Amino acid sequence: MKFLDEAKVYVRSGDGGPGCVSFRREKFIEFGGPNGGDGGRGGDVWIECVQGLNTLIDYRYRQHFKARKGEHGMGSNCHGAKGEDVVLQVPAGTQVLSEDGETLIADMTEVGQRVRLAKGGNGGFGNAYFTTSTNRAPRHANPGLEGQEMWVILRLKLIADAGLVGLPNAGKSTFLATVTAAKPKIADYPFTTLHPGLGVVRSDEREFVLADIPGLIEGAHEGIGLGDRFLAHVERCRVLLHLVEGTSEHAGKAYKLVRRELEAYGGGLTDKPEIVALSKADALDPETRKQQLARLKRAAGSKVLVLSAASGEGVQEALRAIQAQLDAGAAAEAEEAEPAAPWQP
């Protein structure tokens, strides 16, 4: 299945049905009077967050969604039927933006969440509605109101607890395949990962979701390489695991390059808790390992883990560090949400 994380679609709600002009005509009933029914309301356009989807591929080949119109009113005070609604099903993490790509209409983060994008037009009144004490036989009815129409942009941002960032060939996909049941493509050339991947980590009887995105290179924020738009998929992560390839020319420079791209992208990524790790440690001799580790510590200014997804060295330590950051974040959120104690004199 092709991974599609952005789509532009046109939605239109249904027009309301027109009211009916009708009179009761029966033998032996001298003053039948008006009996035209109201028109039915047009269908609405809804967007719903459902389980089992992880891409917007359904909107690649169909971009127009129109709800049904309301039915006409009829005689004998018969009201028209309501038009059928249209429901757009999207995966969790989908944002609905207006056509300008900036105004947020809805953020679909929970399964079962449902938002109305366009309301159907009301049906018109039939002539029976306009009957008064002085106008006993009105001969006019209202047309139905028009529905709403708009273009919206659907943008998917994967929901994960932790995210992997780094240069191409930093070992992100190997790490994901080692600690989860995911099966990303792994090869010895840059840009093996062409779309984000998700996996569930089970460690020490705990679980969290880990996201892997394509590698960044210098100038990614200007569109070089695969660009940086995939960074949207780690915006919702609570902690980042930054893998720096130990076999690179200079681990410190590699770290700073990725940090510059994160800063140029924005989205609060540079403010997130970060765990820095020197990857591919199994491919380094003791002298090179010591030198690269010192360079990376100077650049990061914090503790640096050493790991090798191929041999398993440092993997559990990295997972425990991620879980510790997640627990700390959850405790801080709970403390903020806890109501203050009532004041007592």
Identify the sign of the CA torsion 266, 223, 256, 332.
positive
Q: What is the pLDDT of residue 171?
A: 84
280 is in an annotated binding site: yes
Pairwise CA distance, residues 275 & 40, whole Å: 59
Pairwise CA distance, residues 294 & 148, whole Å: 61
Average pLDDT, the chain: 86
How many Cα atoms sit within 13 Å of 59 on the Cβ side? 27
54 is in an annotated binding site: no
Instruction: Delineate the domains of the chain, giving CATH numbers in brackets.
Output: 6-156 (2.70.210.12), 162-336 (3.40.50.300)
Query: Could you tell me which residue, 329 or 210, shows the higher pLDDT?
Result: 210
Any idea which of 37-41, 43-47, 200-204, 236-240 has the lowest mean pLDDT?
200-204
167 is in an annotated binding site: yes
195 is in an annotated binding site: yes
170 is in an annotated binding site: yes
Predicted confidence band of residue 2 (pLDDT cuts 50, 70, 90): low
- pLDDT, tens digit, for every residue of 180-213? 887 877 777 667 777 788 888 887 778 888 888 8
DSSP 145-188: PP--EEEEEEEE----SEEEE-STTSSHHHHHHHHSS------S
Q: Name every residue whose Cβ is closer than 8 Å to that of residue 297 and which is 6 or more positions away in sequence.
A: 303, 304
27 is in an annotated binding site: no
119 is in an annotated binding site: no
130 is in an annotated binding site: no
Which residue type is seen at 266? G
**Residue 161: which of 297, 323, 328 has the closest Cα?**
323
DSSP state letter for 265: H
pLDDT at 17 over 90: yes
